[in-house]
Structure 1
Amino acid sequence: MRVDGREIAVSGKLLLPWNRRTNDLIRLALSTIFLATIITSSMITRNDWEALERSISDIVGVLTPTQSNLVYLAYGIAILVLPFGILIGLIAGRQWKLLGAYAAAGAIAVLSLSVSGNGFAAPQWHFDMSDRLHTVLAQFLDDPRWIAMLAAMLTVSGPWLPARWRRWWWTLLLAFVPIHLVVSAIVPARSLLGLSVGWFIGALVVLVVGTPALEVPLEAAIRALHRRGHVVTALSVVRPAGPGALILQATCQQAPATEQAPRTPGPTWRPCCPTPGAALLELYGPNQRAGGLIRQFWRKVRLRSAETAPLHASMQRAVEHRALMSVAIGDLGLANTSTVALAVLDRGWMLHARTAARGRPVTADLPVERIWRALAELHDGQISHGDLRIGELTVEFGASTDEASTVLFGGFGKAEFGATDVGLQADIAQLLVTTTAVYGAEPTVAAAIEVFGRDKVLQASRRLTKAAMPTRIRASVPDAGALLSAARDEVKKQTGAVQIQTETITRFTRSQVIQLVLLVALVYVAYPFISTMPTFFSELRTANWWWALLGLGVSALTYVGAALSLWACADRLVSFRNLTIMQVANTFAATTTPAGVGGLALSTRFLQKGGLGAVRATTTVALQQSVQIITHLSLLLVFSVAAGTRADLSHFVPSATVLYLIGGAALGAVGTFMFVPKLRRWLGTELRPKLKEVLVDLGELAREPKRLGLIVLGCAATTLGAALALWASVEAFGGDTSFVTVTVVTMVGGTLASAAPTPGGVGAVEAALIGGLAAFGVAMGIAVPAVLLYRILTCWLPVFIGWPVMRWLTRNDMI
């Protein structure tokens, strides 16, 4: 590359990859949405739109026919001339390499709308209509291919031409909508389709060929450095452009005094590029800034505003902030880089040139107290860093062995001057994590308490959570979750705190989002039940309330039984009282999620909060479910034999077609898991060890009769308690059936309905139980209200009570 008569060697790839061109991707996404909207509205609501357009035209159509013809004539000439005006503008701007993309976009737009069932339909424009000139022009004004061609050409050429021309040309093209309303009353749907197709094709071509923002203005960057007194002799790419800045290393030398720009009086920063030496050039383009802006906006939505740095809508302000913070931290003697130059370049680029980082990386032989004292000095200057990854810290050793080393900071994009308490606490929490990864938790926390004091460290440790710790910090350390736990536990140990209350930094906590989803699911699954309530209440007047109260009391046994079995599976390491209360909340979670997965997750979470590890809690729940299934099947076998063979069980047996479908699906699933390598590895690495753990636990249970008896007793109480509740409900409406038959109905019907995809098996459970009772001779007039009463006692009452119970467990940090 030749700049001002000097040859400068440039090595490395400068072009931004297409998947990182944020502006172009956003343009393509918006054009796709617009095209889909036009197609959908044209297919579904076109008649309504035409009626609306006629109504609007009656209001705005104030022109006489002669005036309308004149307007139509003038606009038609402008639309006909527009593509040639764009072409002349490209030639005047010497955009020679853009002509191919310009022609390709127009051709693709015309061809895409010329496809018909019989192949390509060429445009049929006639120029021999001498009687009315505007009729000739109307062919172009109403032809979607012409509109699409213009929109595609404008989209491709727009970024390369002056903004004033671009605005006027788009205004001229989009004016066809109001002109049609004024002149011909209806905006042809095909014209809007042409506009959307043209914009989409143009956006796609722009993504392929690029925009001026992709051309790196190296010449302007070199001249900006020269004005600061540094002559660049070579450039090499250190990091290609992508999610961050394009970073180049510039070999430079001090410019002769006669070539340096005159300095104006006033304060300035001291350039620190050695002679000869190297400077790092950070070049920020509009696309990089767009991606950063989107990420910042998303963090603003997710977190409170106090948790994130101020949103810089301008890239220039964001880069200036980084440079000025390096100057401010440099004044404290704590910056490992210095600003060399800062300049606004052509085509929306921004230059921040700085020196390379001084010092060496932090290693374990440096006393950890030095790092914490350096952070304290930074905070004394009312500055928060905000990005305390260990890679951003360096150590500068003194000239002699007696001279103390100095810890320096780099990476000032998240730094803030005049920092709030939130920013200072976030710094302490981040440094707790990063230094724990190098030194371990005990020396790290001891040094932090020595420098900042017990109260500040304890307050900052509330942010040692995944939500509060930025992703970049967690990604910079190995096993971030374990480090967060280790640092938090060590803070509790050294400060004597019994518990560290987690800092709530998000606008909506995870539990609030989960509870909102569960409430919506509850309304969804309860709607079919609510629709049957009038009939149920009319039958309820004839019910025997003593039997209903008995069913309610018996249904409570199911919660005691479930708590007893889980308590014994957990080897009595958690509170039985709290475990019983949790079962009520468990009903709410299991009912509002498909297949009851919410209940299993809630049980696992409760055991973890009770002191069990994640693996132990998961294994305990799996063990309890395994024993529950074994007990359920055993009881089903016993009661089926006791029920005899006189009952008609055909309602429980699916048809042959369903059985064949189930068998085929099962064989297909087995074959898929056997022949797909990833699924086969998942079976061997994920599922097999867990099954092995469950089998080992079952073997250990067999050698502990007392514990096994408690688990089986609890599981049996869960199953039989549900059967007793249904039997009491049948008796409440005057039914005459035995407890044995009702137990068979409860177990068989519940098992078949458990495969239903609806949360809580709503609909499937009721149908299975009503059909089962009918199979044993219970009249439908009794079976229907009895089943609904049973579901109220065992499902809906616990669900509505379970919501506040779950809130209470959350407040007391039990789940």
Structure 2
Amino acid sequence: MTERPGDTRTPAPGAPEAPRRKVLLVDLPAVRVRRPRDLLELVMSALGIGVVLLLAVYAHATAIGVTEDVQSAAALVLRQILLLPVTVLEGVVTFFLPLFVVAMQLVRRRWRSVLEALAAAVVAWSLTTAAVWLLDSYGPSALSVGLTITSEGDSVIAMNPLVAALAALLTAMGPRDRRPSVRWSWNLLWVVLALTVIRGALTLPGAVVTVLLGRLVGLAGRLLVGVFNERAEGIDLVQGLRRAGLDAVRVVRLDPPEGGDVRAWTVTTSSPIGYTEHLAENEILGEDPDAGWPVTTRASDTIVPDVLTDPQAVVHAAASPGGVNLDPVSAHRVYSVWDTAGRRWYVTMLDGDRQVVGYLSSLWSRMRVRGLRRRRSGSLRDAADRAALLAYAVERAGVNTPPLVGMAEARDSMIMVTAHIAGARRLSDLTEEEVSDELLDEVWDQLRTAHAAGLAHLDLTANAVLVGSEGDVYLLDWENGEIASTELSRRLDLAQMLAITATKVGEERALASASRCLGSDQLASIAPLLQPVILAPHTRAAAGKPRELLNSLRAQLVDQHPDADVEPINLARFSVRTVVMVTIAVVAIWLLLGTLNFEQVLDATRNANPWWLGLCFGLGLLTYVGSAMGLVAFSPERVGLWRTTLVQVAAGVVSLVAPAGVGPAALNLRYLVKQRIATPLAVATVALVQVSQFVTTVALLAVIALVTGSAGTLSVPSGAVTGVGIVAVLIVVVVLAVPPARSWLWHKLGPTLTQVWPRVLWVVGSPSRLLMGLGGNVIMTLGYVASFGAALAAFGYSLPVTTLSITYLTSNTVGAAVPSPGGIGPVEAALTGGLTVAGIPAGVAFSAALVFRVLTFWLRVPLGWAALRHLQRHGAL
């Protein structure tokens, strides 16, 4: 049999008894833990109660209908037949079952668990009783009616405090997957509740709310005082290490918290080494009646405190530069283990109570970043299997990584043994002077080797790069990686590695190393992915100002590859700012809808004039031509008006996934770059188009006011207009008078003005371009205003031209300021509010705004999709 290097296993069946060892264990004492899973389940229980109560209020008929359907499934005669056995079963569940569960815990001598469970039951019973009294005395009838049954001619709230107490008791006793008595008790409880609902003694919402209330109390108690952890510790840890193939003599915890109460023990054991079916005479194979899995116990295995060893000194020596230390943010326990031959190993412990953290982290990454295909296993064993598969795949691909040499399961933990790299340090611990150019090149070579085998890391940080004493580079922490990865995943790795090396040695050396090791196409493909969202928290913290670093790297890549497509890819699904602004928009729309008279809306919609609606759609199409004229006029190179118009049509699709105004600008930028216009020049052109549209809009408002007679008289404006004008003037004066405010304004507007000003001088030197650009802006603005007026006229209402223009332009600007995709929601709300302020009835205002958005936004999406496909087929986008 060929042995792997470092394999310490002995042949299994029929092998002689394993040698008896005294093992020095330096670890934290076993403590009660607060499981993240309990917090997640508590939140879900609270949300479940809220959802059921909302259904009881707003879907009362549905809830009652479901209850009646359940009850009708058993006819009256059948319910009478079931009355006696159901009553007997209820008595068993409510009286004998709690006694059985408590007795099982007392047999296990878990006195504290019993007291905590009983306390949770009392709290749940009291809370449910108080809830029933409050609902019966002060609760709104809309809520109470969904939880009420008729008993002996009286209406009572169908929430049984005893059921809530039992649910709290079972929850506090522990997870059902590791407690057979708890699991069977839950099954019986649900059966009894179902039969009780059929019998008419409970409503379906009442039964669900009662159980969830008990669950909430039990989970809150577990979070408050903690639970006994099921991790492999003490003797279980040492036995698990021997099962994984290590004949250990010293086991040292490497990741204790600062100031942790580290202690030393002497564990004496003769448990088997390796996986074997051979049992010694003093081994007893039995089954834990409460844990639910086979266990092997040895009467001779002992653990006693070691009073002669200084635990802190042992931990310090184990974490010295002679061996790498664990990343301090890791969720896993890590140990150093020395065997009888003096060899050192690293052991990672995957604990079940921390598994939900990794699952939620992976889920959050997939929600936050587009394109990731991470699959996070729901169970501990699946997670360990996935980590092992990736470890073997990485080693097989020829990537330098500490090999995985053993695995074992012990209680609620998976033990993973990897080789120790003597004298190695993480890249994050090296100084800039210690990182040579040869070392940087070796880092890139190892990553390229992994990519050549289709492997992607996806979590690259400076802590994931290990540097040996001879300068060898190892890549660690592959557990979240991909096998048969996508091109996007590999490009993400390249972007992360460039950011890591730039943070460590500076941008110039990092780019030089990347240029030496990567092809020009690979290097250019990194630029669109240089975004903060791809960086791990450790890298963002090390960079200090990650956005500035990534922008600088992208600019230098653009200079090196001017013809490459470096437009940033939209990777971030959302940001905190987007969530806040969308929440504000939803609240505003909710408040707006609450004030509308929907009967008035329906009446107004039925009476809409179809000819005005057709004119509204046609005038909206005219805006495409005006927008294209502006881009054609200000473009430094000749571009066709027809193709540019198609680009504006295609922007209707992009607007669905980008904030209002941002999507068209981004598409125009890409279009100009595809026309072989340098990126900085294309950015300046798009900025000039936007600035000119703003200036034209303001000037057009002033001209309309003069022509229609709304200005030029000596009449005093209204109080509201005067107040707004005074506030605007004061704001301008304050901003210009206060130096910090003036500096902030210049910081915001300066870059745009710096880009735009040279283009302005160039356009002014060509009157024909200036006239065409301004004319296009006028056509676009008037087209939208006229289309908005036609939508309003379709409902039999009209406004003066000045009022209509101010209402549309102001409301559209305010709505577009909220960064929702396409301005969906905020724009409609702002237009409705503007028309209402202008004197249009609320129902008509909402109908006109909605019809206007349908005709000038939603109906144009299919046209945009067709234009986008056409332009992509012809290489224009």
Is the counterpart of residue 97 in structure 1 residue 112 in structure 2? yes
**Residue of structure 2 aligned with 1:177, choices 185, 193, 199:** 193
The one of 146, 164, 174 aligned to 1:158: 174
The SS at the match of 2:442 is helix
Corresponding residue for residue 748 of structure 2: 690
Preserved CA contact (<8 Å) 2:28 2:263: no
State the match for 1:10 in structure 2: 27
| Alignment map for 1:106-185 (pairs within 5 Å) | 106-115=121-130, 144-159=160-175, 163-184=179-200
1:634 lines up with 2:702 in the alignment: yes
Residues 475 and 755 from structure 1, CA distance in 2 versus in 1: closer, same or farther, beyond 3 angstroms?
Answer: closer
CA change 1:308–1:771 in 2 (3 A) is closer
Contact 1:632-1:716 at 8 Å conserved across structures: no
State which structure, 1 or 2, has the greater radius of gyration over its C-alpha atoms. Answer: 1
Q: What's the offset of the Cα at 1:696?
A: 7.5
AA aligned opposite 1:690: K
- Pick closer, same or farther for the CA change 1:789–1:234 going to 2, 3 Å: closer
Question: Does the alignment pair 1:34 with 2:48?
Answer: yes
User: Does the Cα contact within 8 Å between 1:213 and 1:348 map onto a contact in 2?
Assistant: no
- Structure 2 CA distance for aligned equivalents of residues 729 and 10 of structure 1: 73
Q: 1:343 aligns with which of 394, 402, 408?
A: 408
Matched, 1:706 2:764: yes
Q: Which of 343, 350, 355 is 2:420 aligned to? A: 355
Q: Which residue of structure 1 aligns with residue 86 of structure 2?
A: 71
The one-letter code of the counterpart of 1:28 is L
Partner of 1:232, secondary structure, is strand
Relative to structure 1, the CA distance from residue 712 to residue 81 in structure 2 (aligned partners, 3 Å threshold; closer, same or farther) is farther
In structure 2, what is the Cα distance between the partners aligned to 1:49 and 1:664? Answer: 55
User: What residue in structure 2 maps to residue 447 of structure 1?
Assistant: 516
Deviation at 1:200, TM superposition (A): 1.8
Structure 2 residue aligned with 1:288, among 354, 358, 364?
A: 354
Name the aligned partner's letter for residue 477 of structure 2: G
Indicate the SS of the match to 2:402. coil
Q: 2:74 aligns with which of 41, 55, 60?
A: 60
Greater shift, 224-233 or 292-301, is seen at: 292-301
Residues 623 and 694 in structure 1, CA contact (< 8 A), matched pair in contact too: no
User: CA–CA distance in 1 between the matches of 2:395 and 2:261?
Assistant: 22
Alpha-carbon distance change, 813 to 486 in structure 1, aligned in 2, over 3 angstroms: farther
In the other structure, the counterpart of 1:407 is: 473
Give the match for residue 381 of structure 2. Answer: 316
Cα distance between partner residues in 1 of 2:606 and 2:135: 61
The 10-residue stretch of structure 1 (74-83 or 743-752) with the greater mean CA deviation from structure 2:
743-752
Residue in 2 aligned with 1:370?
Answer: 442
Which secondary structure does the structure 1 equivalent of 2:253 belong to?
strand
Rounded Cα–Cα distance in structure 2 between residues aligned with 1:561 and 1:190: 61
Quickly say closer, same or farther: Cα 1:533–1:796, change in 2 above 3 A.
farther
CA distance in 1, matches of 2:363, 2:249: 39
Q: Distance in 2 between matches of 1:161 and 1:562?
A: 63
Find the counterpart in structure 1 of residue 215 from structure 2: 199
Quote how far apart the aligned CAs of 1:497 are.
9.9
Deviations 1:169-228 (A, max 9, x none): 112222233322554475475444322211222222222233344766243223434662
2:477 is paired with a residue whose SS is: coil
Paired with 1:602 and 1:530, the residues of 2 have a C-alpha distance of: 40
Deviation at 1:798, TM superposition (A): 7.0
What residue number does 1:623 align with?
A: 691
Q: 1:120 to 1:106 in 2, by over 3 A?
A: farther
In the superposition, the TM-score normalised over structure 1's length comes to 0.65
What is the aligned-residue identity percentage?
A: 18
* Alignment map for 1:249-288 (pairs within 5 Å): 279-288=345-354
**C-alpha displacement of 1:341:** 5.2
Q: 417-426 vs 615-624, which deviates more?
A: 417-426
Are the aligned partners of 1:232 and 1:251 in contact in 2 as well (CA < 8 Å)? no
Q: Deviations over 1:403-440 (max 9, x none)?
A: xx433333332467788988877766765665566464
How far apart, in 2, do the equivalents of 1:795 and 1:422 lie?
Answer: 32
Which range moves more in the overlay, 588-597 or 39-48? 588-597
CA separation in 1, counterparts of 2:452 and 2:620?
Answer: 66
Q: Which residue of structure 2 aligns with residue 402 of structure 1? A: none
Distance 1:27 1:787, change over 3 A: closer
- Of 379, 391, 396, which aligns to 2:468? 396
8 A contact 1:221–1:351 mirrored in 2: no
Residues 1:371 and 1:200: Cα distance change in structure 2 (over 3 Å): closer
Counterpart residue type for residue 463 of structure 2: G
**Aligned partner of residue 337 in structure 1, secondary structure:** coil
SS at match of 1:99: helix
* Residues 36/764 of structure 1: CA separation in 2 closer, same or farther (3 Å cut): closer
- 8 Å CA contact retained: 1:213, 1:349: no
Match of 1:780 in 2: none
Please give the residue correspondences for 1:474-553 in structure 2 after superposition, counting only pairs within 5 Å. 475=540, 478=543, 498-499=563-564, 536-537=609-610
Q: 1:86 to 1:224 in 2, by over 3 A?
A: closer
Which stretch has the larger CA shift, 527-536 or 748-757?
527-536
Equivalent residues of 2:369, 2:571 under 8 A apart: yes
Runs of at least 5 residues in structure 1 that lack an aligned partner in the other structure? 123-134, 241-246, 399-404, 511-516, 675-679, 732-740, 775-785
Q: Distance in 2 between the 1:530 and 1:592 partners?
A: 33
Alpha-carbon offset, residue 346 of structure 1: 1.7
Give the alignment of 1:761-772 within 5 angstroms. Answer: none
Alpha-carbon spacing, 1:807–1:265, altered in 2? closer, same or farther (3 Å):
same
Secondary structure at the residue paired with 2:349? Answer: strand
Asked if 1 retains the 8 angstrom alpha-carbon contact of 2:532 and 2:547, the reply is no
Change beyond 3 A, Cα 1:40–1:608 = same
Shift of 1:92: 1.8
Secondary structure of 1:283's match?
strand
Q: CA 1:587 to 1:377, structure 2 compared with 1: closer, same or farther past 3 Å?
A: closer
- Partner of 1:60, secondary structure, is coil
| Matched letter for residue 166 of structure 1 | V
Evaluate the alpha carbon distance shift between residue 721 and residue 644 of structure 1 in structure 2; reply closer, same or farther with a 3 A threshold.
Answer: farther
* 3-state secondary structure, aligned to 1:411: coil
**Within 1, Cα distance between the matches of 2:655 and 2:487?**
42
Q: SS in structure 1 opposite 2:255?
A: strand
Please give the secondary structure, in 2, of the residue aligned with 1:342: strand
Correspondent of 2:249 among 213, 231, 255: 231
Once the two structures are superposed, the pairs formed by residues 384-783 of structure 1 within 5 Å of their partners are 387-398=459-470, 405-414=471-480, 431=497, 434-435=500-501, 438=505, 440=509, 443-449=512-518, 457=522, 464=529, 475=540, 478=543, 498-499=563-564, 536-537=609-610, 556=622, 562=627, 572=636, 575=639, 577=641, 582-584=647-649, 611-612=679-680, 616=684, 620=688, 623-641=691-709, 687-691=745-749, 706=764, 714-715=773-774, 718-719=777-778, 744=802, 747-748=805-806, 750-751=808-809, 753-754=811-812, 757=815
* Structure 1 Cα separation of the partners of residues 65 and 780 of structure 2: 64
- Native 8 Å contact 1:701 1:707 kept in 2: no
Q: Using the alignment, how far apart are the partners of 1:701 and 1:309 within structure 2? A: 46
Deviation of 1:146 after TM superposition, in Å, equals 1.0
Aligned AA (2:695): V
* Alpha-carbon offset, residue 347 of structure 1: 3.2
- 1:537 shift after superposition: 3.9
CA shift digits 1:379-415 (9 cap, x unpaired):
78887666554433333354xxxxxx43333333246
What corresponds to 1:25 in structure 2?
Answer: 39
Question: Alignment length, in residue pairs?
Answer: 717
Q: Which moved more, 1:459-468 or 1:578-587?
A: 459-468
Partner deviation per Cα, 1:492-523 (whole Å, 9 max, x = no partner): 998x895459999999999xxxxxx9xxx9xx
Is residue 321–residue 413 contact of structure 1 (8 Å, CA) maintained in 2?
yes
After superposing the two structures, state which structure 1 stretch, 366-375 or 202-211, moved more: 366-375
CA gap 1:720/1:625 in 2 versus in 1, 3 angstroms: closer
Question: Cα distance 1:160–1:239, how it changes in 2: closer, same or farther (>3 A)?
Answer: farther
Residue type of the partner of 1:32?
Answer: A
Q: Tell me, what secondary structure is at the counterpart of 1:408?
A: strand
Partner amino acid, structure 2, of 1:148: A
Distance 1:428 1:208, change over 3 A: same
